[in-house]
Structure 1
Amino acid sequence: MKRIALLAGALALMTGCGGSNDAPSAPAGSVKAAAAPAGQDWTQTVSPTPEGGYVMGNPNAAIKLVEYGSRLCPTCGAFANTGMRPLIENYVKPGKVSYEFREFLVHGAPDFPPALLGRCGGAQPFFPLLEEMFAAQPTVLPKMEDAGAFQQAQQGKAPGQIFTAWAEKLGFIDFVKQRGIPEAQARACLTDEKQIEALTKYMDAGTEKGVQGTPTFFLNGNKLDNVVTWDGVEGALKNAGA
């Protein structure tokens, strides 16, 4: 739990987000659409991954997009608000692209509550909650203005207590209650030591892969340097043949 305590005290607030937007070049191709299971579309195919993310779409898609993101990162929010719908409608639903989101907690303690609560309901609500948390940033982020003083007041508390306090401050317990996760379940998720430890390890693994800020995208295992917007990501998808 020592590593968790260090993360809980970290407040690199908003500095890990963003970057420039130079889409990489890649050979053009033509990936064919693939039919989803009968009576479904590929957005209903969602599962956890060994790397700690959740993936949506055709598991055999020729193009695999992975995002390392923070639910409190404004640049991630801008990507979600402009790109999530076209990504799903134009690339995931046809079965050409699978999309995986992995938590990368660049802001330390404040990032844990939305990440823990976003995973609290399991696979099916994961992406709807993710999209709605990004859409809610304009009401959530102003509550971070006194983050340093608030975090200082949490010193000496257990990680679960700290994350619960942040969840209450940022309004995330009520947020998930309104979306079908009971309060008792939400509070249990915020203090789940196994999940807290797992998120810490997943972030360490991302750092080892070269992730330094959010959002960071990988396409078929290759890092998309300096690509942080939907235009950049879509350009890379098209270059890959989507």
Structure 2
Amino acid sequence: MRFLLLAFLALFVASPAALAQAHKGRPAAAKKAAPRPAARPNWLTTIVKTPEAGYRIGNPNASLKLVEYGSRSCPTCARFAAESKPLFSSYVASGKVSYEFRDFLIHPQDIAISLLGRCVPTARYFSTLDAMFAGQPGFNARGQALTDADFKALEDMEVVPQARALSDKLGYTAFFKQRGMTEARVTQCLADRPALIELGKITGDAQKLGVNGTPSFFLNGRKLDNVYSWAQLEPLLK
């Protein structure tokens, strides 16, 4: 085959007429299309678990890195979640700000609901967190309706059974099942000892940084004192 190919090429080299004939009728070379500009990353779908065991949304190289230590049962945290939509639609979407949420355990139910909230697929982490905050008034109302007998029974339980009981009584189990989590998965998530240890470490590390309540914000590693609302936070981002 190689000899035939060489002979074929030699024919055109030896015969300009043959070369001209071969070229005749060829379509003109297509003009090179201009390279398309690189697609802009969608930072609102860029979600990862960080080495500090929080979850971050946005540009990992953003010039402003915002971290919130929050409790999923904290009303002030829920209020911040409701009023801070521009944080995501403007600041995070632009790539200028990344936002990371780290669970800080305050109330008894925080163990159960943090375990469940961190047990969803990473891509659904922040949509689930938002839905938990949106439904918080109903969850907390059920907690306030617990009787002394309920609390006594809870006190006598080990951590895992207590977490399950609180999840059931406050409506979180139903919340997650409505979003596709199976009974087996709920049980598995609430019994996840390494995840429980991880939650304890996040809270312990936060306390060493001076966190003693929620929400607590850090901007580029600096704690923002007396900042609890979007109205207080946005000027600092600007």
Query: d(CA) in 2 for partners of 1:114 and 1:105?
Result: 10
Aligned to 2:195: 195
Aligned to 1:43: 44
Query: d(CA) in 2 for partners of 1:101 and 1:191?
Result: 22
Secondary structure in structure 1 of the residue aligned to 2:231? helix
Query: d(CA) in 2 for partners of 1:103 and 1:177?
Result: 21
Aligned to 1:128: 127
Aligned to 2:144: 145
Secondary structure in structure 2 of the residue aligned to 1:67? strand
Query: d(CA) in 1 for partners of 2:236 and 2:201?
Result: 29
Letter aligned with residue 46 of structure 1: I
1:132 CA displacement: 0.6
Aligned to 2:55: 54
Map residues 202-213 of structure 1 onto 2, 5 A cutoff: 202-213=202-213
Change (3 A) 1:77 1:199: same
Q: Any idea what the Cα deviations from partners look like across 1:61-91, whole Å, max 9, x if unmatched?
A: 00000000001000000000111x2110010
Letter aligned with residue 219 of structure 2: L
Q: Is the 8 A contact 1:61 1:96 kept in 2?
A: yes
RCO higher in structure (CA 8 A, sep ≥6): 1
Aligned to 1:29: none
1:140 CA displacement: 1.0
Map residues 86-165 of structure 1 onto 2, 5 A cutoff: 86-107=86-107, 109-147=108-146, 149=148, 150-165=150-165
Letter aligned with residue 230 of structure 2: W
TM-score, L = length of structure 1: 0.79
Letter aligned with residue 74 of structure 2: C
Letter aligned with residue 211 of structure 1: V
Query: d(CA) in 1 for partners of 2:112 and 2:147?
Result: 17
Q: Which has the larger helix fraction?
A: 2
1:224 CA displacement: 0.5
Q: Which runs of 5+ in 1 are unaligned?
A: 1-36
1:184 CA displacement: 1.4
How many residue pairs get matched?
200
Q: Is the 8 A contact 1:116 1:195 kept in 2?
A: yes
Letter aligned with residue 208 of structure 1: K
Secondary structure in structure 1 of the residue aligned to 2:65? strand
Letter aligned with residue 204 of structure 1: G
Which structure is larger by alpha-carbon Rg, 1 or 2?
Answer: 2
Query: d(CA) in 2 for partners of 1:170 and 1:39?
Result: 42
Letter aligned with residue 42 of structure 1: W
Alpha-carbon RMSD: 1.5
Q: Is the 8 A contact 1:53 1:102 kept in 2?
A: yes
Q: Is the 8 A contact 1:159 1:191 kept in 2?
A: no
1:181 CA displacement: 2.0
Change (3 A) 1:153 1:146: farther
Q: Which runs of 5+ in 2 are unaligned?
A: 1-37
Q: Any idea what the Cα deviations from partners look like across 1:189-228, whole Å, max 9, x if unmatched?
A: 0111111111011100000010000000000000000000
Map residues 13-32 of structure 1 onto 2, 5 A cutoff: none
Letter aligned with residue 213 of structure 1: G
Aligned to 2:182: 182
TM-score, L = length of structure 2: 0.80
1:152 CA displacement: 2.2
1:154 CA displacement: 1.8
1:39 CA displacement: 7.1
Q: Is the 8 A contact 1:64 1:219 kept in 2?
A: yes
